[in-house]
Amino acid sequence: MSATSMSATPAASDRHSSSSGLLFLSTLVAALGGLLFGFDTAVISGTTEALEVQFELSSGALGFTVATALVGTILGSISVGRPADAWGRRAILSLTAILFTVSAIGSALAPEWYSFMLFRFIGGIGVGAASVVSPMYIAEISPARLRGRLVAVTQFNIVLGILLAFFSNYLIAQAGFGETAWRWMFGVETVPAVAFGVLLWLVPRSPRWLMTKGHDSEAREVLARLGRDDVERELREIRESIDLEHHQLEEPFFGRNYRKPILLAVAIAAFNQLSGINAVLYYAPAIFKMAGAGTDQALLQAVAVGGTNLLFTMIAMAIIDSFGRRRLMLIGSLGYILSLGATAGAFYAYGAEFQAATQAADALENVEQRIAEPPSEAASQDGVPLERATREAEAEARAAFAAAAEEAQGGSRIVLIGLIAFIASHAFSQGAVIWVFISEIFPNRVRARGLALGSFTHWAMAALISWTFPKIAEWSGGHIFAFYALMMFVQLIWVLAVMPETKGVPLEEIQKRLGIR
pLDDT tens, position by position, 404-434: 667 777 888 888 889 889 999 998 898 888 8
Q: Which residues pair with 125 in a beta bridge?
A: none
CA dihedral (388, 393, 398, 400) in degrees, to 10, reads: 150
**36, 99 in Cβ contact below 8 A?**
no
CA torsion through residues 379, 385, 390, 391, sign = positive
| Angle, helices 48-55/59-79, rounded to nearest 10 degrees | 110
Sign for the CA dihedral angle at 132, 138, 144, 145 comes to negative
Residue 430 near residue 275, CB atoms below 8 Å:
yes
What's residue 474's pLDDT? 72
Q: How many CB atoms lie within 10 A of CB 249?
A: 15
Task: Write the DSSP symbol of residue 248.
Answer: -
Sequence-distant (6+) residues with CB within 8 A of 420 are 304, 305, 308
Query: Which own/partner contact pairs does 189-193 have at CB distance under 8 Å and 24+ positions apart?
Result: 189/36, 189/39, 189/40, 189/43, 189/100, 189/103, 189/104, 190/101, 190/104, 190/105, 192/32, 192/35, 192/36, 192/39, 192/100, 192/161, 193/36, 193/97, 193/100, 193/101, 193/104
> What is the structure's pLDDT at 271?
95
What span, in angstroms and rounded, lies between the C-alpha atoms of 350 and 416?
13
- Measured CA to CA, the distance from residue 270 to residue 160 in angstroms comes to 23
First and final C-alpha spacing in the chain: 50
Helix extents (H) in 43-112? 48-55, 59-79, 81-87, 89-109
**Residue 382 pLDDT:** 54
* CA neighbor of 393 nearest in space, from 381, 376, 383: 381
CA angle 364, 368, 374 (to 5 degrees): 155
CA distance 136 to 139: 5
Distance between CA atoms of 466 and 432, rounded to whole angstroms? 21
Count CA atoms closer than 13 A to 31's CA, side-chain side: 24
Residue by residue, pLDDT tens for the chain (517 residues) are: 444 444 444 444 444 555 578 888 889 899 898 899 889 878 888 888 889 888 988 877 888 888 888 888 888 877 887 898 889 999 999 999 999 999 999 999 999 999 999 999 999 999 889 888 888 888 888 887 777 778 778 778 887 888 899 889 889 988 878 788 999 999 999 999 999 999 999 999 988 889 888 888 898 888 888 878 788 888 887 777 766 434 545 667 787 888 899 999 999 999 999 998 888 877 777 777 777 665 667 677 778 888 888 888 888 878 887 888 899 999 999 999 999 999 899 888 887 787 777 777 777 777 666 666 655 544 555 555 556 666 677 677 778 767 766 777 788 888 888 988 999 999 889 888 887 888 788 887 777 778 778 878 887 888 888 888 877 777 766 788 999 999 999 999 999 999 988 887 777 778 778 877 7
pLDDT of residue 426: 92
Radius of gyration of the chain measured on its C-alpha atoms: 25
| 3-state helix, strand and coil shares in percent for the chain, rounded to the nearest 5 | 85, 0, 15
- DSSP string across 422-489: HHHHHHHTHHHHHHHHHHHHS-GGGHHHHHHHHHHHHHHHHHHHHHHHHHHHHHHTTHHHHHHHHHHH
**Residues in CB range of 463: below 8 A, 6 or more apart:** 67, 70, 71, 73, 74
Contact 328, 149 (CB under 8 A): no
CATH of region 17-203+243-372+387-513, choose from 3.30.430.20, 2.30.40.10, 1.20.1250.20, 1.10.645.10: 1.20.1250.20
Q: What is the pLDDT of residue 371?
A: 64
* Rounded Cα distance, 300 and 416, in Å: 11
Eight-class DSSP state of 254: S
Contacts of 60 (CB under 8 A, 6+ apart): 470, 471
SS3 381: strand
H-type helices in 350-385, by residue range? Answer: 351-372
**Strand-strand pairing, 380-381 and 384-385:** antiparallel
